[in-house]
A = this chain, B = another copy of it.
Amino acid sequence: MKAIADVCVVPIGVGVSVSEYVVACERIFRDAGLDPQLHAYGTNIEGEWDLIMNAIKRCHEQIHQMGAPRISTSIRIGTRTDREQTMRDKIESVRSKLGDDKN
């Protein structure tokens, strides 16, 4: 089952900067072939459900190894059976309608 997900990992108990942990996740997502798209409050990924969830699990394992004793992650994950849809499709379907505004 294909899915599109949005992942925001928050390490707790390691100080205020979290970017090094986000970087570690980006690399894990990239190595897993999930085409990570970073945004200002998380990362979008797409692929098979199990690949996605295993990659997020590896993020937790990696961040714990880097020294964070506690992690709280929020995930949005979507699946659909009516048709195939990529992350790019989702953005395009909004942008094409928004495009009217520019005229």
Residue ranges of A at the interface with B (Cβ–Cβ < 8 Å):
1, 3-6, 8, 10-13, 15-20, 22-23, 26-27, 37-42, 44, 46, 49-50, 53, 56-57, 60-61, 64, 69-82, 87-88, 90-91, 93-95, 97-98, 101
Give 6 nearest A-B pairs by CB, closest first: A6-B41, A40-B87, A13-B16, A53-B53, A69-B82, A70-B80
Which residue, of A10, A42, A61, A78, has the highest number of chain B Cβ atoms within 10 A? A78
* Interchain CA distance A87-B40 in the complex, whole Å: 5
Chain A interface mostly: mixed
User: Which B residues are in CB contact (< 8 Å) with A75?
Assistant: 73-77
Copies of this chain: 4
A80: contacting residue among B16, B26, B38, B56, CB under 8 A:
B16
User: Shortest distance in angstroms between A96's beta carbon and chain B's nearest beta carbon?
Assistant: 8
Q: Is the CB–CB distance between A41 and B4 below 8 Å?
A: yes
